[in-house]
A and B are shown apart, each in its own frame.
Chain A
Amino acid sequence: MLHRSRIMLIAVLSSAMLMAAGCTLRQSSPPLYADLGGESGISAVVENLMYRIADDSHIVGFFANTNIDLFVASLEQQLCDISDGPCDYQGPPMDRAHQHMGLDNSHFNRLVEHLDAAMIDEGLSLQTRNRLYARLTPLHGEIMRLQ
């Protein structure tokens, strides 16, 4: 009796883990770019994000020597590319772009919170936000590689 329930539970746990792995591998049918609202949607999110960064004394310093117009255009292009939109990211690789900035996880987390708040502000659903995060998380390793 006990052993049966133990085996059942292990089966449930492992199948849930497999399902998770399977679902992340499979590409969902509606393109993410469209769910983000296309060019105008991405542009609105990035603008909203920039205002939040400007108001955050913990991270605004990292943008002191940044050409904001170029940065905004590059970020929009990257989000368009990563969400399967009609763009090809032309900016620098993430490790080089953040080289020796002295970033740690606390800075990264703050940016993620601002991005999430910006996307909520612009009316993006939880599903759309999570789908974008699934594609953005691999960038963390690249951004932190040359700190």
Chain B
Amino acid sequence: MRVTRLPRYTLWRCVCATLLTALSLNVSAGSRLLGTGGVSQIEGAAGGGLSPWAVLAGTASSGEVGLTTVGTRAWLNDYRLSVGGVGLNLHDRLELSLARQRLDLTTLGGKLEQNIAGGKLRLFGDLLYHPWGIWSLGLQHKWLEEGDLARAIGASDTRGTDIYLSGSKLWFSAIAGRNLVTNLTLRHSAANQGGLLGYGGDQKDSASLLVEGAVGLFITPSWIIGTEYRQKPDNLSFAAEDDWQSLYSAYFFTKQVSVTAAWLELGSIAGLNDQRGGYLSLQLAF
């Protein structure tokens, strides 16, 4: 018992130490304004919670490099999702990210684990200053640790690559003098439940073109609330797949520390309906 608990305490100690360091030393954050890097979404890219946005991680701008780390957990009725990830922002031009997802099947028993390597290239623009906002092209290469379950339920592959095009824009003084962020993402993907249930299936084997959207209102420069929507394919006859939705609230304490809380409505997952619940994410940026 003692042996299994020890690493967990060590992990929390590391998290607290990093948090304190980030808060106390105003370590070299980038020059981009607070909140303009969004938060880390569940696949490791900068964005909202569910969907990648066009913005690049952290606050690095031209000539600057930024590093972000994230820890996320979501508690659904029959599942628990944990995500850990890192992101690197090179000159606000290229974002590289790595994430690891673990889905604990709390009702069915067992777990699914997936790795995601991501890249996002800013094509042109800026969230705040460009009349058309910022536009980026991204990809996420994902692979399951053990594909037996995915194959057993009819998925054709245990690895796959999503490609997406995102546009984000901040509208100054849009509602009650507050700034509004809008994001639109088009994703080309064959992933079942984001890839945790494999790629493609007996019902549809090819990738689909999917729409993801988000809006968020900055109540203050440090606090944004909003909603996200992510369309999903429905490739497996074994279990229907629903689109994902969320209501979120993110608070940027500093450029280094942000916390996101959300309510997720993920619909049916692997035959268990009405998967909803809370979501909590801590991001540290350097």
Q: Compute how far the CA of A105 lies from the CA of B91 in the bound complex, rounded to whole angstroms.
A: 10
Q: Would you call A130 and B177 a contact (CB within 8 A)?
A: yes
Main secondary structure of the interface of B (DSSP, over half): loop
- B217 nearest in chain A by CB position: A16
For A24, give its contact among B130, B172, B242 (CB under 8 Å). B172
Q: How far is the CA of A26 from the CA of B130 in the complex (A)?
A: 20
Question: Are the C-beta atoms of A141 and B177 separated by less than 8 Å?
Answer: no
Query: What is the 8 Å Cβ interface bit string for chain B, positions 110-139, against chain A (1 contact, 0 not)?
Result: 000000000000000010111100000000
Q: Which of B2-10, B61-69, B193-201 contacts A (4 or more CB under 8 A)?
A: B61-69
> Quick check: is A64 within 8 A (CB to CB) of the other chain?
no
> Closest residue of chain B to A12, judged by CB?
B227
Judging by beta carbons under 8 Å apart, are B245 and A20 in contact?
no
Smallest beta-carbon distance A32→chain B, Å: 10
Q: Is the CB of A24 within 8 A of B63?
A: no
CB distance from B211 to the nearest CB of A (A): 8
Q: Shortest beta-carbon distance, A22 to chain B, in Å?
A: 9
* CA–CA, A109 and B32, complex, Å: 6
Residues of B within 8 A of A131 (CB): 172-173, 177
Q: Select which of B31, B176, B245, B267 is within 8 A of A106 by beta carbon.
A: B31
**Alpha-carbon distance between A120 and B231 when the two chains are bound, in angstroms:** 41
B270 sits at the interface (CB 8 A): no
Q: Which residues of A contact B214 (CB under 8 A)?
A: 13
Give chain B residues whose Cβ lies under 8 Å from the Cβ of A110: 31
By a CB distance below 8 angstroms, the chain B residues around A101 are none
Contact A105:B221 (CB < 8 A) given known A24-B171, A127-B173, A131-B177? no
Which of B41-49, B73-81, B178-186 lies on the face that meets chain A? B178-186
Q: Is the CB of B227 within 8 A of A109?
A: no
Q: How far is the CA of A19 from the CA of B176 in the complex (A)?
A: 11
Q: Does B157 contact A (CB under 8 A)?
A: no
A65 vs B76: C-alpha distance in the bound complex, in angstroms? 61
Q: Is A69 part of the contact surface with B, judged by Cβ < 8 Å?
A: no
A106 & B63 in contact (Cβ 8 Å cutoff): yes
Task: Assess the A20–B171 pair: CB atoms within 8 A.
Answer: yes
Q: Which residues of B are in contact with A by a Cβ distance under 8 Å?
A: 30-33, 61-64, 92, 126, 128-131, 171-180, 182, 213-215, 220-221, 227, 229, 231, 242-243, 245, 267
- Chain A to chain B: the 5 pairs with minimum beta-carbon distance, closest first: A127-B177, A140-B129, A134-B172, A104-B62, A130-B173
A-B contact pairs, 28 of them (CB 8 A): A2-B242, A10-B229, A13-B213, A16-B180, A20-B171, A20-B175, A24-B174, A104-B62, A105-B61, A105-B126, A106-B61, A109-B32, A109-B61, A110-B31, A126-B177, A126-B221, A127-B178, A128-B177, A130-B172, A130-B173, A130-B178, A133-B179, A134-B172, A134-B173, A137-B128, A137-B129, A140-B128, A141-B130
Which of A's residues lie within 8 Å of B, judged by CB?
A: 2, 5-6, 9-10, 12-13, 16-17, 19-21, 23-24, 28, 104-106, 108-110, 112-113, 116, 125-128, 130-131, 133-134, 137-138, 140-141
